[in-house]
Structure 1
Amino acid sequence: MKSFLMDLYQIRPSQLYLDQEKIERLKGAFDPLNVRFNAPLPIKKNGGEAFLTDGHTRAFLYSEAKISVIPVYWDTDDLDMDLYQTCLEWCRKEQVIFIDDLKDRILPHEQFEKQWIERCARAVKGED
């Protein structure tokens, strides 16, 4: 895995919400100012757009700390790209274009599970 630096504002989020519990947990363990030593975030391309496949909470913490150039790597995992395409469409429809757009979309853990995780599960089954 070869990591490189990329402008956070050139990377699209692929989820509509953040989990408040996870943000609080990561705040104690993740130092966004320590960019050089933090694990890179995984990204893929959809058309010409780069998007996060994971690491939305860390990306949000970078943004909150006003860090815009972050370590990333090209995610080579075999992911459900149909699901990611659906998620990216949901994000576009709800105008979640930049990681900052999630600042007003932070949910308590149980609500995050219901509104995001269950929605994704329904999409995988073709129900959403």
Structure 2
Amino acid sequence: MEICRAYKDEVSYLKYEESYFHNTAIIAKNKENIVGVLEYNILNFKTAQIVNINIFDEKVKYETLKELIEEISYWNPYLKEYIYKEQSGNITVKDLNTLGFIKKENWVKLINNNIKVFKIYMKDIKVEQLTVDRDKLKNVERWINAPENIIITCVLMNDKIVPIDGYSRLIAAYKKGFPYVYGYLKNEKDVNMDFLKTCIKWCENEGIFNIDDLNNRIVSKEEHKKIWVDRCRKYFENN
């Protein structure tokens, strides 16, 4: 089973096109066949609302549901609960109970974690990415309207906040004049710190230290792949 965010050519499987632009649409594949889809909205720092679940293959129904739900936590480990307002398609009460949902006003699944979301000032961010994909930036600019829309994964390195994802969102925030965004800290044990230090060195060698510097490095999808993605891939091939 392969679980991933929906790609552009998979939008037809979604109920809400905006889920694709928000990166909140998850696709399940089994031997290249799409067997399920889940879409959700992040309501606040605590809660995500599942707005669509659709399972296309009954033979792998439970496995698909379980992995789709778990993928929400993979991308948003700070969330404390998922709510689901109604059963849809072939999702049953038994399915929801088996997945750990309980019936209150809505169906609710509680997530046990102690991850805290906190405010991050743009001026305090240390950059570790060389370029930003112009197309991705345009996508996130469609829906980013306030600092609360942006929650990024970070590590603390030498008293500096270093985001390890979300640079398109950060540049969108910068362009909209937000003085701060939000984030949470990831345990260093779960991060390849050697690679992160290498990325920071690459940036410093090219004069990229902060968000202001990265704002001058918005490039095409092809350039982003050549300058950043391929360089990262080569690093892992050699290490």
Q: Which residue of 1 aligns with 2:128?
A: 14
Name the one with the larger helix percent. Answer: 1
Partners of 1:53 and 1:75 within 8 A in 2: no
- How far is 1:79 from its partner? 2.0
Alignment TM-score, normalising by the size of structure 1: 0.88
- Write the mapping of 1:1-128 to structure 2, written as runs, cut at 5 A: 1-31=115-145, 34-36=146-148, 38-76=149-187, 78-126=190-238
Q: Is the 8 A contact 2:144 2:173 kept in 1?
A: no
> Which one has the bigger strand percentage?
2
Residues 45-88 of structure 1: CA deviation (Å, up to 9, x unaligned): 22222211101111111111111121111123712211111000
- The superposition leaves residues 91-126 of structure 1 with CA deviations (integer Å, 9 ceiling, x where unpaired) of 111111111212221111012111110001111223
Contact 2:127 2:200 in 1 (8 A): yes
- Residue 91 of structure 2 corresponds to which residue in structure 1? none
Highest relative contact order (Cα 8 Å, sep 6+), 1 or 2?
1
Rounded to whole Å, the distance in 2 between the matches of 1:28 and 1:112 is 20
Q: 2 CA distance for matches of 1:47 and 1:104?
A: 25
Q: Secondary structure at the match of 1:86?
A: helix
Rounded Cα–Cα distance in structure 2 between residues aligned with 1:72 and 1:60: 15
SS at match of 1:54: coil
Unaligned runs of 5+ in 1: none
> Please, what is the CA RMSD of the aligned residues?
1.6
The letter for the 1-side match of 2:127 is: P
Task: Identify unmatched segments of 5+ residues in structure 2.
Answer: 1-114
Instruction: Identify which range, 107-116 or 74-83, moves more after superposition.
Output: 74-83
Structure 1 runs of 4+ aligned residues shifted over 3 Å read none
Q: Which has the larger radius of gyration?
A: 2
Identity %: 25
Distance in 2, matches of 1:70 and 1:25, equals 18
Alpha-carbon distance in structure 2 between the residues aligned to 1:39 and 1:23: 13
SS of the aligned residue for 1:43 comes to: strand
- Count residues with an aligned counterpart: 124
